[in-house]
Amino acid sequence: MQHLHIFVDEFGNTSQNREQAGSFSHLVLSAVLIEEAKLTQARQLRDSISQRYFQGHPIQSSQIPDDELGFQMRLAILQELRQLNFLVLSLVINKSKVTGEGLAYNEVFYKYFNRIFLKQFPQNFTAFSIHADQLAWPEFRQSLQHYINTKVIQRDLFTPDRTYRLVDDQLAEPLVQLADFIAGCLGKIYCTSHSHDKATFLFDLLHDRSFVDFFPFEKTDFAVSVPERDQEKNEWITKIAAASARQALAEHHRFSEEAQAVLQYLYLMFRTVPDRLVEKYEIIDKQKKVFPTFSEQQLRVCIQQLRDAGVLIVSIQGKSGYKIPDRVEDIVGFYNRYLNSIVPMIHRLNICNRKLLVNSLQQVDLLQANSNYSILYELIKTLDKEKQPHSPLDLL
């Protein structure tokens, strides 16, 4: 893999005083990754965007008006940037969730999160140059550069071609301006204090190029709370579930003898004790009296066959067994069971895909290259889109 150039900038600041007017709820660190062979094209594109939208001045996200014309300008610039082959890696830090006495100091805060953010590059790439926008005063810049070079870059005899330096984004390295602009766009999506009500349009243009992590790194519980008891909905669920079972029993020729027997027993329990969740072992023991070799695997196959035919049979999150539903709580428990299985599966698939995309610089892109995987790609995109704040309080 050829030498990689990484341009780093941020949206927001390190101040944790959220009461101050104009304060940022989040800090967004962003890195734009461009292969060395693409640098000439990148510089030409930057110059073109600078001339067209900024009258030849530096590309600065903060200089784009915060109105409809400014937002349309962002979209137009992103459309032009998509001519260039690049990746974006970002870390969105929720400052309200940052704890630790030392992190109250801006210098410590900045060093700490830059270390977390930048350590992925020596883990994924052998040869690279990180160009980060310089900030603060000279003494701190010198301290930060020394800190990152000693704690993060990990240059040695086997990997000597790695550098990190703070640069002036107007004179020394104008391509850092691309990171400034994209960090600002991501800030409009994820920084609740400065989010835009049309942020989804920015998301759609950036999603296939960007990979976003969030701090704190929390395990998400994908469970939905049980709503208040709703007698009318319960009656509807009971009526629909009972009808689905009766119809399947009347069309018994569509199912195996084992599946018919399983449904007959579940429907019997539903009519006699509708609240009861029937344990798996109980169903298996019942079936073994007629089918001596009946197993748990066969039970799962029977349940799948019945569900595929439209019979409402639920299994509840955190519990063992099956039942025909008679209330809202049954359906919610069933949905939660799948939600806590499917979403983490998609998340793990996304981790794998991200690793392949980032390390190969998008050369290995199986999800988008194969139309059979389009539904997986759309699921990942949907889950990523759900991370966007819907109101200024969503990520607090």
Query: pLDDT digit string (tens) for 30-81?
Result: 999 999 999 999 999 999 999 999 999 999 999 999 999 999 999 999 999 9
Give residues with Cβ within 8 angstroms of 168, minimum separation 6. 134
Q: Is the pTM of this model over 0.85?
A: no
Query: pLDDT digit string (tens) for 88-128?
Result: 999 999 898 888 878 888 899 999 999 999 999 999 999 99
pLDDT average, residue stretch 225-244 = 84
Distance separating alpha carbons of residues 235 and 233, to the nearest angstrom: 5
pLDDT average, residue stretch 237-252 = 93
Strand order in the sheet with 162-167: 162-167, 128-133, 4-11, 26-35, 87-94, 210-215
Task: Compute CA distances 187 → 28, 280, 367, whole Å.
Answer: 6, 50, 27
Distance separating alpha carbons of residues 162 and 126, to the nearest angstrom: 7
For every residue of 203-264, DSSP letters joined together read: HHHHTTTEEEEEES-------PPPPPP-HHHHHHHHHHHHHHHHHHHHTGGGS-HHHHHHHH
CATH class of this structure's domain 4-218? alpha beta
Structure-token match 């049979």, residue found: 313
With bands split at pLDDT 50, 70 and 90, how would you rate the model's confidence at 392? very low
Domain 231-326 has CATH 3.40.50.720: no
* Per-residue pLDDT, 393: 42
Task: Give the length of the chain.
Answer: 396
* Per-residue pLDDT, 394: 44
* Per-residue pLDDT, 384: 84
Closest CA to 333 of 315, 321, 320, 345: 315
In the chain, CATH 3.30.420.10 covers 4-218
